[in-house]
Structure 1
């Protein structure tokens, strides 16, 4: 016969108490989920409407520069023998040059070349600045003094004149612009490397750096794995603003005939050609000049937005 134990009142079978349910945290309207650093940075960036517009403009111009020449009838090196210095019309939307080349096709080609040069120079220069600045601060001693001496020397060299001389006597051909990229990158890193060095001095004594050192990691691994990622905020901003610097530097050199050489073209080459006819045949000048202004303003807007988004002194405390 089955025995039943008495319940609390002495009658009926004793009931097994239910398993405790998982306690739910109360949700209040003020409670918000903590965000990761990347999410927080992205949200801060989105709050800056000017920076968002700048990013959209850069992406749009890059897409147009990439696929525009494939969709457009006229190519940058085509010559229309029936339209020399002809104003904008249905056949040539931005008119033609003195040589009968379509201004819109030239502008697309020039924008593509200037964007490629700008991004390549920014990437190379920022990478050199990160490695040199972090190495100088981490290693110290004679190595740091030698690196700082080289940096100071690079800062006083008249880079514009030196680049002009080297490119004039350098190799010619369709890939000659790569020499311009290398030269602009070589003279574009010294100032940023000093800032990276200053940040590295404040990072190198932290616990995780000391722990990596005691574990026997070589200096180059500590620099690449631990120091550079912790100064990446500055490097992202520096690379972004470096694109604008490189585009303007390339434009200035090409304007004076020391940058991208014919038959290739860039925004600087087009502006230099159109400047002589800015008052008589303004369409030759206005197209590339307008694109240059919009492009540089957009890059600077994105750089300012990233600087604000990555600012550690913001009062949001990691919450959205």
Structure 2
């Protein structure tokens, strides 16, 4: 009889493809998008300029050089001075710092409010849905800029620029809340939501732990784009003297002070305006790239 020799070598295990990683895929897509890289680079340079510029200029924000009134850019004043001798470079970079902070805080507040309002309206439905969406519809039809101007005139001067942040956020959440509501209505019928209800998980915990994390991509993209909208809104109010009030300073305040000298002393107007345009452009480039990376149906990827 012939003996059959059995192989003692173990059989090779089948290769299992790695599990998809959403964060890794989005990061790879962002790093492969040129406009995102350009936007991140511009925004990083502006952030460094905003927080380092006032420290290295050699002049305080409110300091006056009475020997250099309305002076052109020079070695002592890199971007010139205004009619009272204040350094334009110092004022513009300090204003950029405040505008960046206002934009970030408004984006966080408005996106947070939109997420909570839309999620609670979509999850509970019925009277809760009608009441919250009625408030959102009412806020949408109100003349927000006029109301902001009136309220800013009375409250911002007393409470500082943080009051302006609250006012801007109060009129910036409505559209996003409607999108969140629609997504919540779809998500609340998923199996894992029904399982959480069956296990007795409270509604607020289901919303915070299961529903909102599943729409984080929308919220992140919305918050990014909201930064530029908030900065533009703050600049417009401050330009008309209804936003940031002295002794605080923002790009809108500096641009407003230099607008009447745009032809006679263009350095007063040009430098802060260029900073504003670059900041809004960079944030929009990042926001558009982030939206495309988070949207698998986007046709404008890698551009």
TM-score range, shorter chain: over 0.9
Tell me, in whole angstroms, the C-alpha distance in 2 between the residues paired with 1:247 and 1:238: 14
Question: 2:126 matched to which residue of 1?
Answer: 141
Tell me, in whole angstroms, the C-alpha distance in 2 between the residues paired with 1:314 and 1:101: 48
Question: 1:64 matched to which residue of 2?
Answer: 49
Tell me, in whole angstroms, the C-alpha distance in 2 between the residues paired with 1:33 and 1:224: 29
CA RMSD of aligned residues (A): 2.1
- Does 1:292 find its partner at 2:276? yes
Against the structure 1 CA distance between its residues 32 and 200, is the aligned structure 2 distance closer, same or farther, given a 3 Å change threshold?
same
Deviation (angstroms), 1:24 = 6.4
Deviation (angstroms), 1:22 = 6.1
Tell me, in whole angstroms, the C-alpha distance in 1 between the residues paired with 2:243 and 2:31: 36
- Partner of 2:36, secondary structure, is helix
Question: 1:113 matched to which residue of 2?
Answer: 98
User: In the TM superposition, what whole-angstrom CA distance separates every residue of 1:42-95 from its partner, at most 9, and x where no partner exists?
Assistant: 111112101111012112211221222223211211111111100001111100
Question: 1:23 matched to which residue of 2?
Answer: 12
Identify the match of residue 257 of structure 1 among 217, 228, 241. Answer: 241
Query: What residue ranges of structure 2 are gaps of 5+ in the alignment?
Result: none
Deviation (angstroms), 1:284 = 0.1
Deviation (angstroms), 1:98 = 0.9
Against the structure 1 CA distance between its residues 181 and 154, is the aligned structure 2 distance closer, same or farther, given a 3 Å change threshold?
same
- Say which is worse superposed, 195-204 or 235-244, in terms of deviation: 195-204
How do 1:147-296 residues align onto structure 2 when only pairs under 5 Å count? 147-170=132-155, 172=157, 176-296=160-280
Tell me, in whole angstroms, the C-alpha distance in 2 between the residues paired with 1:307 and 1:153: 28
Deviation (angstroms), 1:247 = 0.2
Structure 1 or 2: more helix by fraction: 2
Tell me, in whole angstroms, the C-alpha distance in 1 between the residues paired with 2:143 and 2:199: 45
For these two proteins, the number of residue pairs brought into alignment is: 298
Deviation (angstroms), 1:115 = 0.2
Tell me, in whole angstroms, the C-alpha distance in 2 between the residues paired with 1:64 and 1:24: 55
Larger radius of gyration: 1
Moved beyond 3 Å, runs of 4+: 16-19, 31-35
Query: What residue ranges of structure 1 are gaps of 5+ in the alignment?
Result: 1-6, 10-15, 316-320
Deviation (angstroms), 1:35 = 4.1
Deviation (angstroms), 1:20 = 2.5
Question: 1:55 matched to which residue of 2?
Answer: 40
- Does 1:93 find its partner at 2:82? no
Question: 1:318 matched to which residue of 2?
Answer: none
Tell me, in whole angstroms, the C-alpha distance in 1 between the residues paired with 2:180 and 2:156: 34
With structure 1 as the length reference, what TM-score do the two structures score?
0.88
Checking the alignment, whether the CA contact within 8 Å between 2:57 and 2:89 is kept in structure 1 is: no
Tell me, in whole angstroms, the C-alpha distance in 1 between the residues paired with 2:267 and 2:52: 23
Tell me, in whole angstroms, the C-alpha distance in 1 between the residues paired with 2:168 and 2:154: 16
Identify the match of residue 130 of structure 1 among 100, 115, 125. Answer: 115
